[in-house]
Amino acid sequence: MKILVCISHVPDTTSKINFTDGDTKFDTNGVQFVINPNDEFGLTRAMWFKEKQGAQVHVVNVGGPETEPTLRKALAIGADEAIRINTPATDGFSVAKQLAAVVKEGGYDLVIGGRESIDYNGGMVPGMVAKIIGANFVNTCISLEIEGTDATAIREIDGGKETVKTALPLVVGGQKGLVEESDLRIPNMRGIMQARSKPLTVKDPVDANAETTAVSFKKPAPKGAVKLVDNVDDLIDLLHNEAKVI
């Protein structure tokens, strides 16, 4: 089985976020970038298929040279090969078209991506890749088993879970549940050293125009001042007369 894991290069959630050029561009100064968490769950599941079933695991990213450390981390975790599509990840439509071209060329049986990235939260790329390549698709996937060319997946739905059976080729929009946080892998020294010699191929992008453009960004409003109350009567009065919630 040949698996492709789609990796987004996203800011660490602990980073301080700022914008430049009149709030039209993201300021990357001082920001630490990581593997998108939903993608990391998928990568860890792919590693399980590699170790238990002998699968071949490749990772792919759409972005410039600045994303290569994130791909190298994926190689250090255990992926066999990395691919970087040399174009900025401008919007979900163009990213999906770039990824679909790699999937078609590589003949992958299983494509795993996160259900969404934590920067733009678009939640559209895995589904569009599946549509472009004509593969089956399971979103919000929290469990995945492969037996031959048959797949059994569990996905979250409103108010519960749904078990589906389908066939390869398959695209999965994964999240926590494919593996648990305790299963995530930290690259060890041996993995880091091996990653240096693993292939990282840079591919030219296919012709794919962006369908959407970010016009501007706006940070959430700062938190208001906190008012401490030391007795119940004052609290009730404030809730009734000031906050007007009772």
Residue 214, pLDDT score: 86
Residue 88, pLDDT score: 93
Distance, CA of 231 to CA of 94 (rounded, Å): 57
| Angle of the 92-106 helix axis to the 125-133 helix axis, nearest 10 | 40
Q: At residue 110, what are phi and psi to the nearest 5 degrees?
A: -135, 130
Mean pLDDT per 10-residue segment, the chain (246 residues)? 97 90 91 95 97 97 96 97 96 96 97 93 94 97 96 96 97 96 93 95 94 88 85 90 87
Coarse DSSP helix, strand, coil percentages of the chain, rounded to the nearest 5 percent: 30, 30, 40
Residue 182, pLDDT score: 94
Distance, CA of 203 to CA of 220 (rounded, Å): 37
Secondary structure tally for the chain: helices H, strands E? 6, 13
Residue 222, pLDDT score: 85
Residue 121, pLDDT score: 86
Is the bond leading into 169 cis (omega within 30 degrees of zero)?
Answer: yes
- Contacts for 53 with CB less than 8 Å, ≥ 6 apart: 1, 146
Contacts within 8 Å (CB) and 24+ apart, 147-151: 149/109, 151/110
Distance, CA of 174 to CA of 196 (rounded, Å): 28
Residue 205, pLDDT score: 96
Residue 15, pLDDT score: 87
Residue 120, pLDDT score: 85
Region of residue 159 (left: phi > 0; alpha: psi -120 to 50; beta: else) = left
| Angle of the 68-77 helix axis to the 37-53 helix axis, nearest 10 | 30
Residue 34, pLDDT score: 95
Neighbours of 143 (CB within 10 A): 15
User: Domains of the chain (ranges plus CATH)?
Assistant: 2-220 (3.40.50.620)
Assess contact for 52 and 179: CB atoms under 8 A.
no
Beta strands per DSSP E along 36-174: 56-62, 81-85, 110-114, 136-147, 150-157, 160-167, 170-174
Residue 199, token pair as written in the block = 């292939």
Neighbours of 161 (CB within 10 A): 12
Residue 220, token pair as written in the block = 């959430």
Contacts within 8 Å (CB) and 24+ apart, 48-55: 48/179, 49/1, 49/3, 49/110, 49/146, 50/3, 50/78, 50/80, 53/1, 53/146, 54/1, 55/1, 55/2, 55/3, 55/110
